[in-house]
Amino acid sequence: MTIAGPHRVEVIAVEGVGDVRPGDDIAALLKDAGIQDGDIVVVTSKIVSKAEGRIRRAPDRTQAIEDETERVVARRGDTVISQTRHGFVMAAAGVDASNTDPGTVLLLPEDPDASASRIRAGLAAARVGVIVSDTFGRPWRNGLTDVAIGVAGLRPLDDFRGTSDAYGNQLSATVTALADEIAGAAELVKGKLAGVPVAIVRGLSHLVTDDDGPGVRPLVRAADDDLFRYGSRDVVFARRTIREFSDRPVDPEAVRRAVAAGIAAPAPHHTTPWRFVLVESPETRTKLLDAMREAWIEDLRGDGFSEQSIAKRIRRGDVLRNAPYLVVPCLVMEGSHTYRDARRNASEREMFVVATGAGVENFLIQLAVEGLGSAWVSSTMFCRPVVRAVLDLPDSWDPMGCVAVGHAAAPPRDRAPRDPADFIVTR
């Protein structure tokens, strides 16, 4: 296939590669392919996985998908979109049951960039690029296309930001995924059923580099920068309690967007029982936490705890002190009903407490959507007068704990398995 343009590009199918087995040298299998200096060799990941022994015996691929998944992004029925440990977001974590022996599945190469580098080093031509490609779906588009999951000897991106187009308009967002475009072009001659796992793209020698280059990493968007990090069915499960935070600063606007989600929660009598105090000043944060600590120590001493026990309990508050950003959600009873019956008044307050909890949960979930970790700690509830005094809050505002907010320093531990059936009673 030949593509005309500023550069004349040819895409050539490499036939006769045959069935690849574990231990095969892919570069050696291509010794008679006629590869020339300046060519870009596009290799389907399936044969790389086979050559590297990334084959797993499995009656179905469910467990393999789970093992290869770093994070579930979305799920519908048996379809799972997940992030692999490579950082790729793709269907089934790249686990493939096609073009492999029955009863087996293929896993993605352990390190596709390293695989591309090894193939490149073994090719006879002195200066070539190598792409390891795989098939991806795309949001908002039907159909599949091949993209690069491993790159060596090739500039993966063209960044036009800061340049001007033919009309003098400055480009601010145009970054071309060169490696993906080349992988997609190669797939036009490889096909899915033709048994052609390799193609040569000729005519783009200006994109080939002398060294291996940065690999595929510049093409992979970090999860924290992804506007669609979670699918709607899994967004609730994205909220995790995070107790260790990195030094990366928190975007105050992201917290405000989380507050907008918080105040979308249901509440009794069309009221708005939530207030969120954003503790953005480091001086105020330190003053608040110091005052809370002193109040807690005084209470514990009054309850007869030993100094050793008090010190141990106080250390539990370090999650707040180590967080770069604090939020104090408060309950207000404005709009509540007053009854002659004390029992009904107590129930009225309970409704508002439940509504506040719903608002805080919404807030925590949206923080997760924004890529932020959080921990909801109850400590302010034990010294409300102190918190109100330090933060200069009205007496009618009841602080309902404190939320530590920040970027997680490490991935959270897996959730303990829970069966919903254990929490359901049917009548």
Residues 20-53: tens digit of each pLDDT: 999 999 999 999 999 999 999 999 999 999 999 9
Place of tokens 């040819």: 10
Residues near 310 by beta carbon (within 8 Å), at least 6 away in sequence: 297, 300, 301
The confidence band for 133, taking pLDDT boundaries of 50, 70 and 90, is very high
Q: Given a cut of 90, is residue 219 above it in pLDDT?
A: yes
Mean pLDDT of 400-419: 91
Q: Given a cut of 80, is residue 108 above it in pLDDT?
A: yes
More confident residue, 313 or 289: 289
- CATH class of the domain at 2-225: alpha beta
Taking CA atoms, 350 is separated from 331, 387, 396, in Å, by 11, 22, 16
Q: Given a cut of 60, is residue 419 above it in pLDDT?
A: yes
Q: Given a cut of 70, is residue 382 above it in pLDDT?
A: yes
Mean pLDDT of 406-419: 88
Residue 223 and residue 229: Cα distance in Å, rounded? Answer: 6
Give yes or no for a contact between 178 and 154, defined as CB atoms under 8 angstroms apart: yes
Residues near 317 by beta carbon (within 8 Å), at least 6 away in sequence: 289, 292, 293, 296, 377, 379
Q: Given a cut of 80, is residue 317 above it in pLDDT?
A: no
Which residue, among 282, 279, 303, has the nearest Cα to 382 in the 3D structure? 303
Determine the pLDDT at residue 98.
84
CATH of domain 239-423: 3.40.109.10
Give yes or no for a contact between 137 and 91, defined as CB atoms under 8 angstroms apart: yes
Give yes or no for a contact between 176 and 122, defined as CB atoms under 8 angstroms apart: no
Determine the pLDDT at residue 224.
73
Residue 282 and residue 261: Cα distance in Å, rounded? Answer: 25
Residue 319 and residue 289: Cα distance in Å, rounded? Answer: 11
- Please name the amino acid found at residue 346: A
Residue 231 and residue 251: Cα distance in Å, rounded? Answer: 22
Q: Given a cut of 90, is residue 125 above it in pLDDT?
A: no
pTM over 0.75: no
**What ranges do the domains of the chain cover?**
2-225, 239-423
Mean of per-residue pLDDT scores for the chain: 91
